[in-house]
Chain A
Amino acid sequence: MEQLIVNGIITGSIIVLGATGLTLTYGILRFANFAHGDLMTLGAYAALTLAGMNLPFGVVFVIAMAFTAAAGILLDTVLYRPLRKRGSIVLLISSIGAALLLRNLVLIIWGPRMRYYSQDIQIAYMMPFGIRIKPDELLIIGIAAALIVLVHIFLKKTRMGKAMRATADNAELAQIAGIDTDRVVMWTWGIGCALAAAAGILLGMEVQLRPQMGWDILLPLFAAVILGGIGRPYGAMAGGIIIGLSQEISTAFISTAYKPAVSFAVLILVLLIRPSGIFGGEGRWS
């Protein structure tokens, strides 16, 4: 059981990063971006190519995040911005198109077979309570925690972070106050997609790289986002850990093949009992 909790925290860390990015874009742009999972995939594969150039891990990580942020901003400029006035359903459907496009791009460039960042076999550390944890897994938890702290500082302390929260509260009032909302939107895509890339890389480290990897994890991401109250970054962080834990702990009772079904079940339960998320209220960034 202790081992499953640790596994849950590892999975949860990855979901937290993905879900926080997804909920940020929702909070500002008011639409569910179905391409978010495939942006994760793109970031993970970008890191694979960079790792092939023998760059140090930290550099690979940061460049892959910046690359995916740029890809997200580009996607917004050419696809979403012209459609913004058409409403959130049009945006949602176009994001499914973008998801397909990105996934097939990954297939064309990197091919369909499974890939690994490293073929080395990692020796797990033996921890108290018989818990076994690999060095990579400690790194995953550490990176996720550090990035979440950075997002928190950004949202609470910087001028642009506060402007993002203001725009999420009331976009028209933000404009009235003189906030450059176009720049806020750009920053939101940048940060959301950089987090997606980080989540994708960590997922690639924990499992392996597949062109489907981002799309397959989209359901747990949405479950975490909705669990925490859609559009609320702090809710998504809590939701991500809860989804990660419930997926892993469920394996003690049912087949591991049902992991995605567990997040689906949690999602449906939340929608039935507390549709505004476990923390209640509207999409407020508090």
Chain B
Amino acid sequence: MLHKPAMCILEVQNIVAGYGRVNILHGVSITVNDTEIVTVIGPNGAGKSTLIRSVFGLITPREGRIIFNGEDITGSKPSALVAKGLAYVPQDKNVFPSLSIQENLEMGAFILKKGRRSRMEVIYGLFPWMRDKRHVKAGDLSGGQQQMVALGRALMLQPRLLLLDEPSAGLAPNMVSGILEKVKEINSSGVAVLMIEQNARKALAISGRGYVLAMGRNEFEGTGGEMLNNPEIGRLYLGG
């Protein structure tokens, strides 16, 4: 099989961003290629969520630029970005609790006029258990199941890049591996992934590259393997 050269799908250039008058990111830069999984780790308050929310247009950066698929998207609204091929799964409250699984998926493809049915079949192929439970309200599902519904919703429009904010947060240890397994599967189907993860070891193990963010700045960057084997990163960020 021929490997076409990896293309840069996302380029975050030196962004400064925050809430109110407080800056949380003080010039952060990252890149994601169109075939890889990139994991961002770092202590609480490092600005990981702020970074992802800036990419998705929920926060407008004060400085710097965000390039997606060759286009400057700095300051674009989420609704415009969804149409361009970006999808985002927030850390919590990421399903519509009073809507059924099927309705949650439909909402992921709200902007689609037709072809929703066939996209839904793709999602049911990825998560077969959902098909039988498609009329169950998302609010009645377990945490792990909700996380998968949220992933399914985000995949409805066949995004180029999936942004995940702690997909395994609050899940039982066996579910953590299950979710990360799914992330890997999604990636191999041709979706680039940028994620934040607390379970840093497990996440880096499936990642092509990773970044360490600290105090709103880039601290370290390397391949997943390099980061897992770096003793200092192990001691500081991977829990020994």
Question: Measuring CB to CB, which residues of chain A are less than 8 angstroms from any residue of chain B?
Answer: 159, 162-163, 165-166, 168-170, 172-180, 284-286
Contacts and interface: CB of A to CB of B under 8 A. Distances in A.
A163 B98 CA distance: 12
Contact of A173 (B94, B103, B106, B137): B94
B98 A284 contact: yes
Interface residues of B, number: 25
Contacts of B153: 177
B79 A180 contact: yes
Contact of A178 (B79, B97, B139): B79
B56 A166 contact: no
B98 A169 contact: yes
A172 B77 CA distance: 12
Interface in B83-100: 83, 88, 90, 93-99
A38 to B, nearest CB: 31
Nearest to A232: B98
Contact of B106 (A159, A174, A284): A159
Contact of B107 (A166, A168, A172): A166
Interface of B: 56, 58, 78-79, 82-83, 88, 90, 93-99, 103, 106-108, 110-111, 137, 139, 153, 157
Chain A interface, DSSP helix/strand/loop, else mixed = helix
List the 7 shortest-distance A-B pairs measured between CB atoms, nearest first: A178-B82, A284-B98, A169-B96, A286-B98, A166-B96, A179-B110, A166-B107
A173 B78 CA distance: 10
Contacts of B78: 175-176, 178
Contacts of A159: 106, 110
Contacts of A163: 107, 110
Contacts of A286: 98, 137
Contacts of A168: 98
Given A159-B106, A176-B90, 7 more contacts: A165-B103, A166-B103, A168-B98, A169-B97, A172-B90, A178-B78, A180-B79
Contacts of A178: 78-79, 82-83, 108, 110-111, 157
Contacts of A176: 56, 58, 78, 82, 88, 90
Q: Which of A162, A163, A165 has the most CB of B within 10 A?
A: A162
A225 B202 CA distance: 49
Contact of A165 (B79, B83, B94, B99): B99
Nearest to A163: B110
Contacts of A179: 79, 107, 110
24 contacts: A162-B107, A163-B107, A165-B96, A165-B98, A165-B103, A166-B96, A168-B98, A169-B99, A170-B93, A172-B58, A172-B90, A173-B94, A173-B95, A173-B96, A174-B96, A176-B58, A176-B82, A176-B90, A178-B78, A178-B82, A178-B83, A180-B79, A180-B110, A284-B98
